[in-house]
Every structure is written in C-alpha cells, then in structure tokens.
A and B are shown apart, each in its own frame.
Chain A
Amino acid sequence: MKTVIIDYGSGNLRSAEKSFERALKDGGLKGSVELTNDANIVRSADRIVLPGVGAFKDCRDGLRAIPDMWETLNEQVVQGGKPFLGICVGMQLMATRGLEGEETQGFGWIKGDVCKIEPNDAELKIPHMGWNTLDVEQSHQVLEGIETGQNGLHAYFVHSYHLAPLNASEKIATADYAQDVTAIVARDNMIGTQFHPEKSQKLGLALISNFLKWMP
C-alpha cells in the first residue's frame, strides 16, 4: 500500500511523513509513505493525503502550479475513488469556495464555503489555536476507538477560517469554540480534518492509523 503526501510547497511535511510512518508501524501495517509533487506518482498511489497551511488562495495557487496535479486529484479521488485525507487548508480546499481574502474556487467535493470563524464570545481569540476536543455528529470509521466528547482526546487546531458544509450529513465532527467549528468532513472515499493529526499526539496517530486501514 502506497500513501502519497502531496508536497506543493505549503510548509514542512517531514512531521506529516514521519507520523504516517509511525502510524503504519504502530498499526502493524505494511506500506510506504512518499512525499511527492509529481502527478504520475499520485496516480500510482493507493491513498492520497493533501496537507496545507497558510491562506486558501495561496494553497490553491500552489497546487495548480504543479502540472496536471489539480486534474489528477479530481480524477483519482472522485472517479478513482482512492481514500483521500485533506488536512487543514488541504481539507478546506475540498469545499466549493474559499472566502479568505478574495473568493477562490476549491475542488467542490464538499458543497459549502470556507468562511471566517465567529465565536459568540468577544473574549475568545482568533486564530482558534490550541487543543480542543471533538463532538461527533456522524459516526465514521476514522474515529473508531478514539474517545470523543468533552472528556475525550484532544486535537491540535490552528486556523481562522473553517468549512461550513451545506449537507449536514457531510459534517462528521465539530469543536466547541463558542460556535460549532467544523473539525472533520467526509463523503464517500474522502475525509478532511481542520486540525493537524500529525501534531495531535495520541488522537492524531490513532486517526492516521484508522485512515490507513479505511476501506471506503
């Protein structure tokens, strides 16, 4: 099983790569992890991970700057049905549109916009930065065995925008920040996390391991 992490110049991916390697090892799974910016290698992969930090438009532009990558992702994820994980802005890119700065088109896999978070408490800081628990809206295999809810495990978030899915069934989990912040979205063979599983210690490694075992 080959998992590729798409490297399009958005931050350092060494942690992400190492966390997937650790999850493979801890889960007793066979397989490899590869960082790539080559659309052909994405075609040959079994699982695809799209990370992303920074602004929506910069990430989209970075991804589109790689020859054939945008089209390949659409083809491999939507038509090919390969298990896909989007992380942070990589998750936001699954949306129809991003509203950070100027309006920018995303993949449109999850219908909805990426809009600024607006907690109903003026004391709360933006970005939503730090460790928060997850409240599950729909059960999903990537959350199997992970304690959720107020007394559950924590995920590491750092963001000022979030994806608001139009279809409630695609919202898998939220985090409470004086508003429901979308934490996980999913549809068919696709899943996206607003938080960083590769920085989320116990919860993160468990989620990555579940993703690697997931047979959608």
Chain B
Amino acid sequence: MLKARIIPCLDVKDGRVVKGTNFVDLRDAGDPVQIAKAYDAAGADELCFLDITASHEDRAIIFDVVRETAEQCFMPLTVGGGVRCVDDVRKLLLAGADKISINTSAVKNPELIKETSDKFGSQCIVVAIDAKTVSAPDEQPRWEIFTHGGREKTGIDAVEFARKVVSLGAGEILLTSMDRDGTGQGFNIALTRAITDAVRVPVIASGGVGTLDHLVEGVKSGHATGVLAASIFHFGTYTIKEAKTYMASKGVPVRLD
C-alpha cells in the first residue's frame, strides 16, 4: 500500500537555512546539507528546499547545496524558489534535484509547465500554489492564487488554476494555504479537499501545521497524499518518528522503515 508522505521543508537563503533549526548534534544548524542528512537518517519521506535568495546573481549557490545533498541523501529531493525558465529547471535537475517546484512563473507563464513537463517529464514538475480565502464567511468558500510569497493578488481561482496546471503537465501540486501558513492552526482542510477532489495528481498539503493531529487531518479529511511542515520539525517540537508513529496510531498508513 502507498504510504502518506511526511515532508520537511527548509527555507534556504544564500546557501543557509533561514528559520534556523533546533536539531541537537549538528555542528552547523544552518547548513542545509547537514540538516538534510539528519532528516534522511530520521526517516523523512522526501525533502523540500525552498530557495528564497533575493538576488538572481546569488542563486547559483543553491546548485551546490542541491549537489551536495543529492550525493549524501538517498531520498527524493524537491527544489523550488525563483524558477523562471526551462534552463533553471534543467540546472536544478542536473544538480541532483528529483522534482522542481514552480510557483510565480506558473501563474505568469503557464506555458512553462507544458514546456518543462514535455521536456523532463511530468514526474518532476511540481506546481506550488499559494492560495488565500477571498470569500466572506457566510459565502460559498472561494480561494485565489497569490504570488511573490503571498504578497501579490492575481484574481485567479485556485481550483481552476489547479485543473489548468495539471492539464498542462504538472505531476504534483504543493498547496499552501496563505491564511494558515505560520499560524500553527492546522491546514485549511476545505481548500485542500477542494483541490484534491479537482485533480488526479498527488497533492501535498502545506501551511499551518502546529500539532500532529493536523498532519492526520491533512490526509484523512483533506485527502492529501503528503503533508509538508517546517517549524514543528525544525524546532524539534516533534521528530519525524513521533509524527509517523502518531499518524499510524490514527490509522494513516505511513512508512516506518
């Protein structure tokens, strides 16, 4: 049976992990490669790097980080942040990423999804959707896409957009609720369910995890095939093993190898 995936996500800026982590036994808690190795050993199912390096010139650093990680971790690695063209995707894949996550450019230039999935295969093209609730509390819920880390409103309906990128060749959707991100209040389940019901490809739920029950809800109620979290793992609130053991006790199939 296929297992639900638990995916820690690291924000990397200029080659360093920004939010910081609380891992014990790491010589350098800001080194993404060391953190990746720790998560690999801890049994994470996949790892996600989000490069938030501001200037384009400094973005080459992420290639070295990806290269070193891929040489030392025998687990799938997704890399996103600032991916704008076919060549960005190619370079990250050649550095050793397994999947590339495309966010703002998928909105600005949806054709990029088609070009890159035709060229490299749908299996490595993830579209990262940042969605925010735009309906009033008494209305039928509606969500719109926001870009540039959630700062820019696009007016595009999130469910429609998900269908569109899948038809263009996206092999997976990484869905972040901007309403919940960083709140610790749990995933936006209605949004997650609306997207998972709308597309046939796997959906990773993200944004808002504060407790282990939230991870369970993402899979059981949101129908996500994977759950992504940052702070609860980085700050050592829970280990990957604790999260998986808890999920298993609630009837979510997980990998405990």
Contact = CB atoms under 8 A, between A and B. Distances in A.
Interface of A: 11-12, 14-15, 18-19, 22, 53-55, 58, 123-133, 150, 153-154, 156-160, 175-177, 196, 198-205
Given A14-B70, A54-B120, A204-B74, A131 B3 contact: yes
Contacts of B223: 123
| CB-based closest 5 A-B pairs | A54-B121, A125-B202, A131-B255, A154-B255, A158-B123
Nearest to A59: B121
Interface stretch (B19-27, B50-58, B89-97, B134-142): B89-97
Contacts of B2: 124, 128, 130-132, 157, 175, 177
A194 to B, nearest CB: 12
A129 B123 contact: yes
Query: Chain A: interface secondary structure?
Result: mixed
B171 interface: yes
A53 B255 contact: no
24 contacts: A11-B93, A12-B93, A12-B97, A15-B71, A15-B74, A15-B96, A18-B70, A53-B121, A53-B124, A54-B124, A124-B2, A126-B201, A129-B202, A130-B4, A150-B1, A154-B255, A154-B257, A157-B2, A158-B76, A160-B122, A196-B76, A198-B74, A199-B75, A199-B76
B202 A130 contact: yes
A156 B79 CA distance: 18
Contacts of B59: none
A129 B1 contact: no
A133 B201 contact: no
Contacts, number: 105
Contacts of B94: 12
Contact of A12 (B40, B95, B172, B203): B95
Contacts of A129: 123, 171-172, 202, 225
B174 to A, nearest CB: 12
Nearest to B45: A131
A56 to B, nearest CB: 10
Nearest to A100: B121
B249 interface: no
B123 A53 contact: yes
Given A12-B70, A131-B5, A201 B201 contact: no
A156 B75 contact: yes
Interface in B35-94: 40, 45, 67, 70-72, 74-76, 93-94
Contacts of A130: 2-5, 45, 202, 225-226
B202 to A, nearest CB: 4
Contacts of A159: 123
A25 to B, nearest CB: 13
Contacts of B71: 14-15, 18
Contact of B1 (A22, A133, A160): A133
Contacts of B203: 125
Given A128-B2, A129-B171, 15 more contacts: A11-B120, A18-B74, A53-B121, A54-B124, A124-B2, A125-B202, A130-B4, A130-B5, A130-B225, A131-B45, A154-B3, A177-B1, A177-B2, A196-B76, A204-B74
A161 B19 CA distance: 39
A210 to B, nearest CB: 16
B98 interface: yes
Given A12-B97, A153-B257, A201-B74, A132 B1 contact: yes
Interface string B93-110: 111111000000000000
A58 B87 CA distance: 18
Nearest to A147: B257
B153 interface: no
B200 interface: yes
B166 to A, nearest CB: 10
Contact of A125 (B3, B45, B93, B201): B201
A12 to B, nearest CB: 5
B57 to A, nearest CB: 24
